[in-house]
Each structure stands twice: as C-alpha cells, then as structure tokens.
Amino acid sequence: MYYSLLAFVFTSGESSGSLLDVNPGLIFWTVITFALLMFILMKMAWKPILSSLNEREQSIKDSLEKAEQARSEAEKVVRENQANLAIAEEEAQKIIAQGREYSEKLKEQMLKESKAQAAKQIEEAKAEISRKNQEALNELKEQVVNLAIEASEKIIRESLDKEKQKLIVEKYLKDLANN
Amino acid sequence: MVSDSTQVITDSLSTAHASGGNDTSWLMHHVMDAKVLDFEPFGTIHLPQLHLFGLDISITKHVVFLWLAAIILILIFNKVAKSYKKSLTPSGITNFMEVLIVFVRDEIVKPTIGKGHEKFLPYLLTVFFFILTCNFLGLLPYGSTATSNIAVTATLAIISFIVIQVGGMMQNGVFGYFKGLIPHGVPIWLLPIMGVVEILGLFTKPFALAIRLFANMTAGHIVILALLGLIFILKTFFVAPVSIAFALFIYLLEILVALIQAYIFTMLSSLFIGMAVHQDH
C-alpha cells in the first residue's frame, strides 16, 4: 500500500515514464511468476535436491563414523596382538628358563649318580681286594701251619727215641698217680 | 506513452546525439520497462497487450525476462535434480549449483533462522536464484534487468514481508507474535510509542529490501550508459577508450553487485524471518 503511495508521490510530478513508476501489471506478473516458479522448483528441485544433500551428508557422516570405529577396532586388535605377543614371549622365556633349569638339574643328578656309582664300584673293588687279601693270608697261614706241623713232626720223629718215650710215659703215669 | 517509447526506441543514440546530450530519454529507455523487445539493429518484437478487470497486464520486457529467468531456473534445476537420482556424487553443473545451494543453506539460512529453518529454505532458495538469474540476465546483450524495476523488487519484498509475518505468527501465534514485537522490560508509558515504532519497523524492513535491490541494479546500468553517453555528449572519439574502460570496470563491478544483491536480499529476508520466528532475543 505504501508502495502505491510512494509511486503516486513520484509519478504525480512527471507525466511520462519515471524509474519509480509502479506498473500494476508487472506486480501481477511478478506474483504469478514467482509463485509458479517457487511451486515448481519446490516440487521438482528443492525437495529432491535437499533430501539428496542430506542423505549424502548423512552417508558421509556414517562412513566417517564407521571408519573411525574400524580404526579404533584395528588399534584394539593391534594392541591385543602386542599384548599376546608379549605374553607369548614371556611364556617362551619361561619355557626356555625351565628347560635350562631342568637340564641343569638333570646334569647335576647324572653327575651325582655317576659319582655315586663310581664310588660304589671303588668300594666294591676295595672290598674284593681286601677279601682276596684275607683269603690269600688265610691260605698262607694254613700252609705255614702245615709246614710247621710237618717240620715239627719231622723234628719230633727225629728226637723221640725209646728212652725218651719211656721217660714221657712214666712221667704221664706219675702224673696220673699223683692226681 | 507507447508512441513515445517506440519513437525513443527507433534510434536512441542518434536522439542523444541530436539533442546534444540534454535529452536523457535514450538512457532511461535502456533502464526502464517497455512494451516491446528491441533487438537493434535487427528490429523489434511487439509484445501482446492484455487487460484483466480493467487492469493493464500487458506482457512487458521485464515480464519476458522474469519468465526467461524462471524457465532457465526450471531447466537447470530439473537437470540438477535428475542428476541426483543417478548418483549422489555431483558432477558438472550439479557441482556448481550444489555449491550455491549449500552456501544459501549453511551460510545464510541456518545461522540466521536456526531451528526450523527447513520450512523457509525453499522460499529463500527460490528468491536467491530468481534474483540472481534476473540480475545476470540484465548483464547480457539485449538483456534487461527485471530486478531494476521497482514494481518487481517491491513485489518480491512484499512476498518476503508476508513470509516473515506468517512465519512469525505460525511459530508464536498471532497474539504472541504481536506481543513479542515489543521487547521485554519496557516501561508501561513507553508501550504506545514502542508499539508504533515496532509496527513501523515491520514495514521499513521490506521497504529497504525493495529499494536496495532496485537502486543497486538500476545504478550500475545508468552509470555504464552515462559513461558511454560521454562519447556523444563530448562529441569526440578520444573519450571513447576512457569511457569503454570505465564502462567495462563498472560492468565487472555489476557482476559482483548482481551476486551481492541476490545474497543480501536472501540474507536479510532470512534474518528477518529468524527475528520473527525466534523473538526472544
């Protein structure tokens, strides 16, 4: 309304064409054109375009989120792997240490056993030796005794003649009579 | 008036030459609306004269260019909308249009209206592209800037005004909207004055929109024509290089202005809608 008033003010001075002339027909056509254009564009362009834009933005956001998720998951997996690796290494170290300890023990044990066996064998050998010694000694003794007996027998046979025998018997008899 | 303008059309520059630069009608003829499309020197097309209920609704030059802008927009955005059906990845013209659409949405509408901006997006996008296309059509040879007509800009501003008020009333209710116009904490004795001021403010906003667009789109053309007119006013060829250089500079400036004014109109409409919808700040 104030536009028409404005137009009136400006056109009243000039009879033919002013820049500020308001042509009602043009207003009419502007309204029609704009309304139709907006209606057509709204149905045909803005709705599909804006929804496509939103859809795309949503999909980009989703993909970014997914990528972020995948990255964190991968990181987690890597961390887990590293942890597992560390555990495995520790395990391996432990196993190696155990093996070493076992072998050490085994070595010691074997050494001890062999030493013990050696000692035992030495002991046995010593016992055998002493036994053999004893045997030999005994045999020697026996032989010496036999020899002595033989020798004494010979000596006795040599020295005991009739008078001596008579003397001895008499002596025995005397002893008997005394008792 | 019709015979007057046709006479002017026959040879505007010779008229200027003949009248020794005192007659400005040749200049005005390029800027103003007409009932013919002139393609000098190839001839002119007379447009049909229509009347409806005693109202002169003849098709004028600016009406033709409004339609041309509308047709161009429909063709372009039909193509763009179809390309989105094929794939969500833009290419070619879709890419370019998407930049503008996203710019309007993210840089103009979203920050100024905020929550619930989707409802106003179709209107503001249409306004932006319509004004932009009209502005650029005026820069083409034989083209005419429909947005340099006060009737067109005023109508666009009135449509904006209606959208602003209706948007505000739909959000806050009719009574709530008018109540919200007056800021909180105003002394009671100031209320009558504030009421008048605020109601006046409602009308000055679209008024400024209309005048700004009209003046900016008209001024550039007038300056270009005036610079070229210098050649005929001074009646020497030596001024031609200077005139043409300056005219070219203004023309380049007008490309910028065409963009800026489409942006400003949309931006301010969006801002006013935002103020009407969210009154509490």
Q: What is the pLDDT of residue A68?
A: 95
Q: How many CA atoms lie within 13 A of A106 on its CB side?
A: 6
Which one of A2, A7, A30 has the shortest CB-CB distance to B156? A30
Q: In this complex, do A45 and B78 lie within 8 Å of one another by their Cβ atoms?
A: yes
- What value does the mean pLDDT take over residues B131-153? 87
Segment (H or E) for B46: strand B43-46
Q: Does the pLDDT value for residue B5 go beyond 50?
A: no
Contacts of B280 (CB under 8 A, 6+ apart): B180
- Count of CB atoms within 10 A of residue B267's CB? 19
The ipTM is 0.81
Query: SS3 of A166, please?
Result: helix
Q: What is the pLDDT of residue B3?
A: 44
Q: In this complex, do B31 and A21 lie within 8 Å of one another by their Cβ atoms?
A: no
Minimal CA separation from B47 to chain A, in Å:
14
Q: Does the pLDDT value for residue B180 go beyond 90?
A: no
**Where residue A17 falls among pLDDT bands split at 50, 70, 90?**
low
Q: In this complex, do B150 and A19 lie within 8 Å of one another by their Cβ atoms?
A: yes
Q: Does the pLDDT value for residue A8 go beyond 60?
A: no
- What value does the mean pLDDT take over residues B45-49? 77
Distance from the Cα of residue A12 to its chain's centroid: 104
Q: Does the pLDDT value for residue A19 go beyond 90?
A: no
Minimal CA separation from B280 to chain A, in Å:
29
Q: Which amino acid is at B63?
A: V
Q: Does the pLDDT value for residue B93 go beyond 70?
A: yes
- Token pair belonging to B256: 């910028």
Residue for token digits 């009719």? Answer: B174
Q: What is the pLDDT of residue A139?
A: 92
Residue pLDDT, tens place only, B184-206: 777 778 778 888 888 888 899 88
Ranked by mean pLDDT, which of A86-90, B57-61, B275-279 comes out on top?
A86-90
Domain residue ranges of chain A, discontinuous segments joined by +: 24-171
